Structure 1
Amino acid sequence: MTLDRRALLAAGLTLPLAGAAAAQAKTPWTRPAGIAPDASIPLWPEGHPTVPPGLAESIVQRSDDPQASDRVLQGITRPRLDIFRPAKPNGAAVILAPGGGYRYVVIDKEGYELARWLKDRGVTAYILFYRLPGDGWADRSNVPLADAQRAVRLVRSRASLDGIDPARVAFGGFSAGGHVATSLLTRFDAQVYAPVDAADTLSPRPDVLAAIYPVVSMDPAIAHAVSREKLLGPAPDAASEALHSPERQVRVDMPPLFLLHAEDDESVKVENSLRLHDAARKIGAPCEAHYFAEGGHGFGLMKTAGLPVAIWPELLWNWLAARKIV
């Protein structure tokens, strides 16, 4: 299904929103100067978890354009949350898990850029730099989920410090970060790590969850091959494949879900979102989904100029507002 302007208006979006989206589509997104977090906090207490021998972090710059930084963090040894604090917090918190095929974590286009956008609207944003399952960690396939659970708990434990409402915590993920997110969607209460402090007494279930062009299924027919191999290894058994395919783990008590995907995505097939959407619909779990004919993969905020998909941040914002998060 492709949503054009007429369909969006029929769905109840206002003319001012449509006009804003049209203006955004005509004008390429430009990077605000000096995007940087206001703070960075470790996800785990010092010394936990044990870092695999020889693992070292490094940042790789993938863009030659000074106005379009595209950095990735690889070899993550210190999983952490980078925090973007608004001048006047509105109480909402959004945790973002950028993509990277479980090989690295994107810093800018699916992390800092959207965090800045949210910060400017009063939202406290947290960028999650999660451990990568192919880097030698114990229990590799559950490592990203453990970090996601811990992130939600840690954000809730900081509610008074960061000026947020612990009952208005959203989680969002892009690409492989979308698999982190949808795993949290369906396995938020799975026992994938031993509690380490008081934060682990808090709920790891987000209040709402968004997945943007997400890796979801581990079915070889539609899976993102690199993400699948990094998460499960070269020869996973059927049980492991099923456990780590969120569309096969849906449950009625999972958080309300927002899905967005481009149908011409050649990296992560749109069937990933379609299957999860269908599975949620069949059990009556709340799910809003948007599919666009064009957009490809990894568009973030920067690569939507001239396309209907440029409206996606406003669609997400309206959904968060309807769910009383923002």
Structure 2
Amino acid sequence: MTPVDRRTLIGAALAAPLLPAAARAAEAPDFPEPAFSVKLWPGEAPGLKDPSLKDEVLERSKDPAIRDRAMVKVRTPRMDVFPAKNPNGAAVLITPGGAYHRVVIDKEGYELAAWLAERGVTAFVCFYRLPGQGWENPRNVSLADAQRAMRLIRHRAAEWKVDPKRVAALGYSAGGHLCGDLATRHAAKVYSPVDAADALDAKPIVAAPIYPAIAMDPFLTPSAVTGPYASSGDGWTMLDAQVTKDVPPCFLCHAEDDATLPVDFTLRLRAALRAAGVPADTHLFEEGGHGFGLRFTPGKPVEAWPDLFLAFAKRHGLLG
């Protein structure tokens, strides 16, 4: 399978509605797909309270020429791996968005992973557990998966042709919150070690929360997470309050016209990073909306963000 160039993929998607349905199906783009998947945990993931929970994927697109899948139930957290065509040793852990109620597969996962792999960066798309689906310690269940993923990448770095010192994290929306949570709480003990991988560092070399939530609270309701973890508005997961000088350099990106998560979230995070002396490269775009990923960027100012991220990452050692 040949990875799809960003412009080719998006151009095909935009042109598809002009064609008859049969022609669209026959001319569907070569969708990005991972080379393989890796379970994050041996056996069952820790803390399962609902034995009836099963992995479930929902296709939300009605057009066969466009994929828009989401994993709406996650029992088996995993990484889907896109090896670099000509690896330069860099790796990026991608945490897609989905409001902590789902994990978006294509728009905020596979499309960026394929784009990175074409540029020498091995990409790992993380399908993390969702806090409202019956897990112990729901406040930390997604973070536990992100930490575990970072440690597994480093533990198996030689096998995957990755430099263990050059592993970054990037996430969108709720996954941007998770990326920021990993950047600020990479050393927090949120699960019991299960093997040798857990002795390794979970800190990314750089982190890129893209149009992030600054807290988990906006996505959770008392019916989804109960007890002390209910949405209370008290800011128990506020990213700016978690920032210390031990946070890695951060790339921040947001559109001014985001009607779902206000650009002020990114500005608050930027202020906290600067106060702690953490390098922060901040890009605010006039137009882009929410959830642009790569798919909805062409022709808008926000189209520049992926190349800006790679330039930032290179300055801070990801690309050697």
TM-score between the two structures when normalised by the length of structure 1: 0.86
1:51-110 CA distance string (max 9 Å, x none)? 322212211111122332110001101000000012321100100000000000000011
Deviations 1:223-278 (A, max 9, x none): 6x224668864875899944411111110011110110011111111111110001
Match of 2:34 in 1: 37
Q: Shift in Å at residue 35 of structure 1?
A: 1.3
State the secondary structure of the residue aligned to 2:132: helix
SS in 1 for 2:112: helix
Counterpart selection for 1:280 from 266, 273, 288: 273
Describe the shift of the 1:274–1:29 C-alpha distance in structure 2 as closer, same or farther (beyond 3 A): farther
Find 1:133's aligned residue among 131, 134, 140.
131
- Cα-to-partner distance string for 1:273-306 (whole Å, 9 max, x where unaligned): 1100011111211111100111110011111122
Find out whether 1:80 has 2:73 as its counterpart.
no
Distance 1:247 1:102, change over 3 A: same
Name the counterpart of 1:61: 59
Letter in 2 for 1:283: A
Q: Which amino acid aligns with 1:181?
A: C
The whole-number CA distance in structure 1 between the counterparts of 2:169 and 2:9 is 29
- Tell me: CA distance 1:65–1:279, structure 2 relative to 1, closer, same or farther (3 Å): same
The equivalent of 1:108 in structure 2 is 106
Note closer, same or farther for the CA distance 1:140–1:236 as it changes in structure 2 (3 Å cut): closer
- Report the number of matched residues: 298
- What is the distance in 1 between the residues matched to 2:299 and 2:169? 28
CA separation in 2, counterparts of 1:277 and 1:179? 14
- Gaps of at least 5 residues in structure 2 are 1-5, 14-28
One-letter code aligned to 1:183: D
Q: State how 1:1-326 maps to structure 2 within 5 Å.
A: 28-30=10-12, 33-51=30-48, 52-217=50-215, 225-227=218-220, 233=226, 241-326=234-319
SS in 2 for 1:141: coil
CA spacing shift, 1:27–1:178, aligned 2, 3 Å: closer
The CA deviation at 1:217 is 3.0
Cα gap change, 1:86 to 1:248, in 2 (>3 Å): same
User: Deviation at 1:202?
Assistant: 0.3
Structure 1: which amino acid aligns with 2:185? R
Over aligned residue pairs, what C-alpha RMSD do you find? 2.3
CA contact (8 A) 2:131 2:142 kept: yes
Q: Following the alignment from structure 1 to structure 2, what is the Cα–Cα distance between the partners of residues 186 and 77?
A: 26
In the aligned structure 2, how far is the partner of 1:312 from the partner of 1:34? 22
CA distance in 2, matches of 1:114, 1:201: 29
User: After TM superposition, what 4+ stretches of structure 1 lie above 3 angstroms from structure 2?
Assistant: 24-32, 227-243
> What CA distance in whole angstroms lies between the structure 2 residues aligned with 1:136 and 1:27?
37
8 A Cα contact 2:212 2:261, kept in partner = yes
Once the two structures are TM-superposed, the CA of residue 121 in structure 1 deviates from its matched residue by 0.7
In structure 2, C-alpha distance between the alignment counterparts of 1:39 and 1:321, rounded to whole Å? 27
Q: SS at the partner of 2:139?
A: helix
* Alignment partners' CA distance in 1, 2:246 and 2:224: 25
d(CA) in 2 for partners of 1:26 and 1:129? Answer: 26
In the alignment, the residues of structure 1 paired with residue 295 and residue 83 of structure 2 have an alpha-carbon distance, to the nearest angstrom, of 22
Unaligned runs of 5+ in 1: 1-23
Distance in 1 separating the partners of 2:131 and 2:193? 20
Relative distance call for 1:216 and 1:231 in structure 2 (3 A) is farther
CA spacing shift, 1:303–1:85, aligned 2, 3 Å: same
Amino acid at match of 1:169: V
In structure 1, what residue type is equivalent to 2:260?
S
Tell me the distance in 2 between the aligned counterparts of 1:302 and 1:254: 30
